Structure formats: C-alpha cells, structure tokens
Amino acid sequence: MKTRTTVILSLIAIGLLGYIYFFEQHLVSTGESELRQGRLLPRMIRDKVSRIDIERGGKHLVLERSLGDEGAGTWMLVAPLKDEADEDAVEALLSTMEWAESRRTLHNIGESDRKNFGLSAPRIRIVFTVLGETPSLAIGGDDPRGQGAYAQLDDTQTAYVVGTDLVEAFDTDAATLRNKQVFKGVDTAETTKLVVRSGPDAPAVELARKDGRWWAAAPFVGYGSSLGIADVLSLLGSFRASRYVDDDPKDLAKYGLKKPERQVVASGGNGGATLEVGAPCEGHEGETFVRANEGPVLCASTKELESLFPRAEDLREDRMVAAEEQDIARIRIEAGKAHIEIVRDGGEWTFTDEKDAAADAEAVSEYIRALKFHRALDYSDRADAKAEATITLGLEDKSTETLELLGGDAASVLVRRGKEPGAERFLAPARELFRASRTHFLPRAVVRQKAVEAVRIARTLGASTETARRENGLWSLPRVEPANIEGGTISNAVEVLSNLTAAAFVADAPGGAFGLGAPSRSFVVVYDPLADNRASFEEFAKPGPDPAPGPALDGEPPAAEGTKAETPKDSPKAVTRTIRFGADAGDSEVYGQVDDGPVFRISKAVLTALERPWVSANEDGARTNKP
C-alpha cells in the first residue's frame, strides 16, 4: 500500500510540475515584468509577441507569427496583403516598443483632455498579442513642448508623452514591412544557365553548366569563371530591394522596364530568376527601378546592382586550374617519352612507378598551389600546335582536367585547357610545372641529419680545402692551435648543412649550366651516431689473452675459452653527405646538389654561414709548420 501511494504521489507531482511549466511558458513571468519596470509597456516582451495590429489612417496592418516550444516562427503579413514580412524591420519595431519610455506622465485626464491630446481619434493604434494578453497603445497629436506625441495605454485616465522615434517607427505601411528579398524560394546555386546583359553597348554573356563546369558560348567560347559566376548567382539569390513601388504595373515604360537594357537571367534548378533593370527611381537618389520574374516594380540600390553586371572578361576563367586541391586524387605529367604519376589514397600520395614509394604531401600541395596560382595574361583563338607536355589531373568524381603546353618564349607560355578551342598565355615560370620529374613531389628538406653526430667536415672554397674533426665535443684543425679555432663557426656551418632546405628543384641531374661539375664550393660531412662509443667498442674487441674459464654458476654451463667482446652487429653506421654549390641561379640564389640527388636552387644567404673563417683572423701565427 505504501509503495502504491508513493507512486501515485510521484505521478501527481510530475503532472503538476508539467502543468506549471506549460502554464509559465505561456504567461509573462513576474521576473520578466520587473526587469522592465519604468518602461512604457513592462509586459511587452519581444520574444513572446505573436501578433501586431497597427491601425493607421483608416488602414489596417496585421503581422503574425507562431510561437512554439522550438522557438518563434517567421513573421508574416496577413493584412492588407499576404506576404513574408521583413524580419529586420519587424524586430526594429518590437525593439523600439519594448524599451519605449514616457517622457512625461499626465494623470486623471478627462474626455476633453483626450480630445485635445488627439487620443479620442488617435492617428495610430497598436495592439500586441503577448502570450494571451493584448496590451494596446494609442498615439495622438504632437506635444506642444516639442518632446514628442501624446500616447495612451489601456488606462483612459492616464496619458503619456512619448518620443518621436516611437511615433516614426509605427508610422509605417505594408510596403515598408514586406520582405524585400527579390527572389523568394529560388535556389540560384542550382542554376544551369546564366545570361547577363550589361547594356546596349555590351555583348550578352551566355554561360551554361555541363558536367560540373561552366562553359561560355558568347561573346567568347571557353571556360566560364566558376568564382565570378558563383558571385553573381549568390548576389542574385540574396538581392534585396529598398522599397515596393507598384504591385500591378500597367505601364512598364514609365519605369524604363518595357524594353530593359540590363537583365540577368538564371534558369535551371528549382526555378528561374530574371531581374530586369530600368530607369532611376524618382524621388529616391541612388536607387533604380527593378522587376523580378514579371512581378511588382521595386526600387533597389544602384550601387548594389552594379555587382550583378560584371564585365564579360570577369566571367571568363583565368585560372590555369580551377579544381580544388582536396578534389585532386591523381597527377600525371608527360613530356616526350618521360612521364611521372602520383596517386592519393586517403591522405597518402605515392608514385605509381615504384611500389610503396611515398611522395611528400607538402611538396604535392605546393605543386597544386602553383598550378592554381597562375592566371591567364590573354587568350588566343588558335591552339593547333602540337603539345610539348601534358598535365592530367584526376579528380575524385572520376573526371579529369588536362593542360597541354603548346610552346612559348622567354616571357610566356601557351597552354590549352581541356577541350577549349583556344589557348591561354601564362607567365614563363609555368613551364617548370610541365617538367616530367619526380622532384616536383620530393621533400624540400634535402639534408636532415643530427648536427651533434657530425665528427668531420671538409670544405673546399675555390682551390682551398680544410678539414675539421670533432673529438670529445671540440673541433680541431691540422696545425692550428686550439685557442685559434673558431669552433662556434664550424658548429654553425655543420648545423646549416645538416638542415638544408631547397627553395625548389630544377633538374633530376646536373648539367653544364648549373656549374656543379666543378663546384665553386663543396662540403663533405661525416656523421657517426656512435663516435664517442665506437672507440671503446673497438678497444674492448682487440685481440688479447684468452680469459680463463670461470667457475660455473648454479644452473649455467661454464664459460667457453677464447670468448672476446665484439662491436654490436646492429650498431648504426657512419653516414657521409656531400653538398656542392655551383653557378648563380639569378641574383639571390645558387644551384646546389646533395650526393647524387637532383639539382635545386637555394638562397645565397645560406652560403654566408658556410664561408666564414674557421681560424681567428686576428691571431698571428695561427697556422704553424707542425707536422
């Protein structure tokens, strides 16, 4: 019995709490009212208003929205016409009303006072519906002191003087409160055809989207600019007018819209969007008449309209590659008989000609960014030359983008993109991207060794060669007193060489132009991870008298005769790196090579640390004739 009673009481408590919650959700709380004490309408809470009735000059305007547990719905005009309301305009009304204050309060007024104050027949009457309550406000004549206008709430014995901002806010009409978005319910992102007519003297730009790419049919034939077109469509879809002018226009000529000279037509997807632009709006400087989809005539900002009518050349694709980096899954470069190809599996890039040979992700990303960086200088209608090299980009959606190098000169190169009938001219450095070489996709870090493991460095500067060795952490030079050796300078040179990063690769192997056959500067660095321990191992492993057999420990066989210490077979081996620097590669770079690797360019600033003297220059007799 006790258990049953407890359950029943619990259910009653839950039900009561639910009722209280529901009840409070649909009432203005005491706390909310207290926060607004001193306001003209303390029980007018913006978030809980569901209806606004405005009576002005004999005309009735009604706004409504639904209030649910998941939040407020969209404001709608329901009188004098049905349309979506301008959310910003309605919120401005509510904000003005919510925080309105009385500038002066008049008590115990009579009917004659109400008549004198213009409250018997108010010019504006507003009724709000706030969670079942309907507070009202009447606005009468102007206050003779110039403080605003007379107003009255539900209490007819009290009048107020309110500011002109409140009067002006509600001295409004349906045209002001209508949603001024020109195209409602049209998703221009799904557009498949776009025509832009910018004026009587400008050719119409005709574009169509096919297989994910925009193509232009006039006034040029070729790729359309996906970025430029996306901008136009985005602006078109979100374009807003300044005001409504004529809901049922009979004479379009007076608005300059009978034969509009400027027009944007977007079709396809879930509906079309046609915007026609006419004459300047009379009485509204900086605004122009427009009409959308043969609907009402509106006024819109002349300046904002200009963005919808770019030049024809701005709607032409000028990028060498338009595909996004994350969409590229394969890169193949062919030049004559040479070719190189890499593919992406997940986040890993690999060379297809060598199983499991990894390409450097950062180098691949840099290559793609270089492709996307280049912009066309101009366009050529002729592209009948034979391709010298080809780049093929395989995309995630199984489509491809191709680039064909058709030739060029010292200043520029001619490239044909995909199936375009013509070609584009790009700056000469774009030629480097068509080189069929692995070096495009190799890491720029050409040397990565631990400088602390360096035990010997030899450098040749011109005809002079010197070699430094390190023992017990100190550098030594033949026939040089230790006090005269610039150990810090040598260590700094080793640090630079151990962390060498190329600016760019230029060739798979050195040629005469790079000056690496007889380099002006070369360095050989030996790294030995066990330099400090290797001597101990070798000394310990020298032949010596055989140790006498020792007594056997419990459970172990006796030691064998002739056992000697040996250097561990898996110990790291010493590594030798040869770095050469050759001819100048422009004003600020030189060509370089590590071991037998590819040729690269590197900043001349690197050489500064490598060429500093290793022997103190201010010491006489630093070098001696000691053997």
**Which pLDDT score, from 0 to 100, does residue 146 have?**
82
Plot region of 620 (φ>0 → left; ψ -120 to 50 → alpha; else → beta) = beta
Query: For residues 320 and 211, is the Cβ–Cβ distance under 8 A?
Result: no
In the predicted structure, residue 552 carries a pLDDT above the cut 60 = no
CA atoms within 13 A on the CB side of 83: 20
Average pLDDT for 220-236: 93
Burial 590-625 (b: 16+ CB within 10 A, else e): bbbbbeebbbbbbeeebbeebeeebeeeeeeebeee
pLDDT band at 14 (very low <50, low <70, confident <90, very high): low
In the predicted structure, residue 483 carries a pLDDT above the cut 60 = yes
Q: How many helices (H) and strands (E) does the chain have?
A: 12, 36
**Cβ neighbours, 10 Å, residue 502:** 24
Distance, in Å, from the CA atom of 579 to the CA atom of 602, rounded to the nearest integer, reads 12
Report the DSSP beta bridge partners of residue 149: 142, 162
pLDDT band at 47 (very low <50, low <70, confident <90, very high): confident
Query: For residues 371 and 320, is the Cβ–Cβ distance under 8 A?
Result: yes
* Torsion angles phi and psi, residue 110, rounded to 5: -110, -175
Distance, in Å, from the CA atom of 97 to the CA atom of 86, rounded to the nearest integer, reads 17
Picking from 165, 178, 172, 177, the residue whose alpha carbon sits closest to that of residue 96 is 165
Looking up tokens 């640390």 gives: 609
Average pLDDT for 285-305: 95
Query: For residues 622 and 486, is the Cβ–Cβ distance under 8 A?
Result: no
**Which pLDDT score, from 0 to 100, does residue 531 have?**
76
Burial 279-315 (b: 16+ CB within 10 A, else e): eebeebeebbbbbbeeebbbbbbbebbeebbbebeeb
* Mean pLDDT of all residues belonging to the chain: 85
**Which pLDDT score, from 0 to 100, does residue 540 have?**
41
**Which pLDDT score, from 0 to 100, does residue 323 have?**
93
**Which pLDDT score, from 0 to 100, does residue 382 have?**
73
Average pLDDT for 47-51: 87
Average pLDDT for 76-89: 90
Looking up tokens 């034969």 gives: 259
In the predicted structure, residue 534 carries a pLDDT above the cut 60 = no
**Cα-trace Rg, the chain:** 42
**Which pLDDT score, from 0 to 100, does residue 618 have?**
60
**Which pLDDT score, from 0 to 100, does residue 303 have?**
96
Of residues 429 and 622, more confidence is placed in 429
Low-confidence winner among 192-196, 350-354, 551-555 (lowest mean pLDDT)? 551-555
pLDDT band at 40 (very low <50, low <70, confident <90, very high): confident
- pLDDT over 70 for what percent of the chain? 85
Q: Using CB atoms within 10 Å of the CB of residue 66, give its burial: 0 to 12 exposed, 13 to 18 middle, 19+ buried.
A: exposed
pLDDT band at 549 (very low <50, low <70, confident <90, very high): very low
> What share of residues in the chain are helix, strand, coil (percent, to 5)?
25, 35, 40
**Which pLDDT score, from 0 to 100, does residue 181 have?**
87
Longest dimension (CA), the chain: 133
Distance, in Å, from the CA atom of 88 to the CA atom of 80, rounded to the nearest integer, reads 20
Our CA dihedral for 10, 14, 15, 19, rounded to 10 degrees, sits at 150
CA atoms within 13 A on the CB side of 479: 7
pLDDT band at 27 (very low <50, low <70, confident <90, very high): very low
Of residues 201 and 546, more confidence is placed in 201
- pLDDT over 90 for what percent of the chain? 57
Q: What is the pLDDT of residues 253-291, one digit of tens each?
A: 999 999 999 999 999 876 789 999 999 999 999 999 999
Average pLDDT for 39-68: 86
pLDDT band at 536 (very low <50, low <70, confident <90, very high): very low
Report the DSSP beta bridge partners of residue 334: 339, 390
Low-confidence winner among 84-98, 309-323, 588-602, 603-617 (lowest mean pLDDT)? 84-98
Structure tokens at 324: 């996004």
Report the DSSP beta bridge partners of residue 413: 408, 426
In the predicted structure, residue 560 carries a pLDDT above the cut 70 = no
**Which pLDDT score, from 0 to 100, does residue 64 have?**
92
In the predicted structure, residue 554 carries a pLDDT above the cut 90 = no
Domains recognised in the chain with CATH numbers: 30-177 (no CATH), 188-315 (no CATH), 325-441 (2.60.40), 451-539+567-610 (2.60.40)
In the predicted structure, residue 386 carries a pLDDT above the cut 70 = yes
Average pLDDT for 165-194: 86
Q: What is the pLDDT of residues 581-592, one digit of tens each?
A: 999 999 999 999
| Three-class DSSP category at 440 | helix
In the predicted structure, residue 9 carries a pLDDT above the cut 60 = no
pTM of the complete model beyond 0.75:
no
Q: How would you write 313-333 as a 3-class SS string?
A: HHHECCECCCCCHHHEEEEEE
Length of the chain, in residues: 627
**Which pLDDT score, from 0 to 100, does residue 563 have?**
44
Query: For residues 391 and 400, is the Cβ–Cβ distance under 8 A?
Result: no
